[in-house]
Amino acid sequence: MTPAARINAAIEVLQDIVERRRPAADALKDWGLSRRFAGSKDRAAVASLIYDALRRKASSAYAMASEEPRALVLGMLRGLRGLARDEIAALCSGENHAPAPLSADETALLTAFSDDDAPGWVRADVPEWLWPSFERAFGAMAVEEGQALAARAPVDLRVNRLKASREAVAKDLAHLQPEESAWSPDALRFQPGHDGRGPSLQTEPGFFAGAFEIQDEGSQLVTLLAGARPGDTVIDLCAGAGGKTLALAALMANRGNLYATDLDSRRLAPLHDRLARSGAAIVDIRIPRSRGHEPLADVAGQADLVLVDAPCTGSGTWRRNPDAKWRVRPGALAERVKDQAEVLARAARLVKPGGRIAYVTCSMLPEENDEAIRAFLGRHSGFSTVAPIDVLAGAESDFSLLARFATEFGLQLSPRRTGTDGFYLACLRRGD
């Protein structure tokens, strides 16, 4: 496919996404199955165009005076990819599967392209209904935080301490030009290429050997700061596919007891193979037999640490899932807040006196972060927060600079602040 044909295909698929309100991945899969002539590079290029258009949906729609898929793609080419008006016009010839020629209005809008006078939520590319939450969280820097969240994300890996060192993995992957990340001692970073994609790390021999896992540096940081130690009894209460479970096992040096569970047992399925690859030998996967069944009843009140990777809107991962921010609705936020209260109450029953709950979200929204902790403290008088400065002081490395990002009860990481996905961590201690 020519570059122009790829742009036309992106407009077509984006139309399907908008009309049917479906995930971009599903629409792209269907498009690929119906376009067998499109090679892997074509599919990757079309996907990159779509995701980039979704990253800048609000600002492009404002500058192009339209929310139509064509306007969003043209606006993205101008605002994000930096193509000049004439370069865009050359791609829109209407010939050989290229988009139709630019109209007079489109030409004028691309010439004067700007969102400088737009409302904050537009310049930040954040859904309008969520903008008050963003402003509460970030104040005068809310627009900059949103813009950073609308950028492309790098690919991070976590070196598995049970099998390798960062130096050894960096040497093995030298052909992919890894960078040592700024915060996590176990992280290596790979910048996205021109097409927005990172390297195919999961095809590398080291991945199959269990030397590393793909994990955002922010996810690594909050897991590390949770405070798991060798010999502890630790519960990963919302383990999902097990990314944090594997990191916990490595931090515990394979000593102690580590339980992994999830209310949705289907999410745990990939963890079995990942554990075998990683060499983690202390993990006990507990699968609920039915709704309301507590698979950890036999260890209630015994955990040194309960990690609650709470269900949330995922707003902190919008760099990687830009379509998700336009599909989330107020009702979904309210439902997640309810889920967070329930899982925190469950954690309270599992942690021992003097033990710790580490509450984690991949969210940028106060409703799911500090406000969730405030509500928990109001319901559970036997718990108190661990001051962020004390959380940082107890870590194995010097993370004192992260104290700048403390909130009332925890720490808020973000693409602009820490170069990571948006993660929140608050630690709670049960009274003796």
pLDDT beyond 90 at 148: yes
Distances from the Cα of 248 to the Cα of 160, 187, 189, angstroms = 10, 15, 20
pLDDT tens column, 236-245: 999 999 999 9
pLDDT beyond 80 at 36: no
Predicted local confidence at residue 21, as pLDDT = 85
Average pLDDT of 67-80? Answer: 96
CATH 3.40.50.150 occupies which residues in the chain? 217-430
For the chain, what is the total number of helices (H) and then of strands (E)? 20, 12
Task: Write down the catalytic residue from 92, 238, 362, 427.
Answer: 362
Query: What whole-number distance in Å separates Cα of residue 136 and Cα of residue 388?
Result: 20
User: Predicted confidence band at 396 (pLDDT cuts at 50, 70, 90)?
Assistant: confident
The encoded tokens of residue 96 equal 């050989």
Q: DSSP 3-state assignment of 232?
A: coil
Distances from the Cα of 346 to the Cα of 33, 263, 362, 376, angstroms = 44, 11, 20, 11
pLDDT beyond 80 at 95: yes
Are 191 and 203 spatial neighbours (Cβ–Cβ below 8 Å)? no
pLDDT beyond 90 at 293: no
In this predicted model, which residue has the larger pLDDT, 151 or 194?
A: 151
To the question of whether residue 117 is assigned a binding role by annotation, the answer is no
Q: Which residues contact 100 (CB under 8 A, 6 or more apart)?
A: 92, 94
Question: How many Å is the maximal CA-CA distance in the chain?
Answer: 74
- Between 18-22, 52-56, 275-279, 355-359, the lowest mean confidence (pLDDT) is in 18-22
Percent of the chain predicted with pLDDT > 70: 100
Give the global pTM.
0.94
To the question of whether residue 262 is assigned a binding role by annotation, the answer is yes
Residue 298, CB half-sphere, CA atoms under 13 Å: how many?
4
The full DSSP string for 78-97 is HHTS---HHHHHHH--SSTT
362 is catalytic: yes
Cα 156-161-162 angle, rounded to 5 deg: 130
- Between 97-106, 114-123, 192-201, 313-322, the lowest mean confidence (pLDDT) is in 192-201
The CATH homologous superfamily of the domain defined by 217-430: Vaccinia Virus protein VP39 (3.40.50.150)
Percent of the chain predicted with pLDDT > 90: 88
pLDDT beyond 90 at 290: no
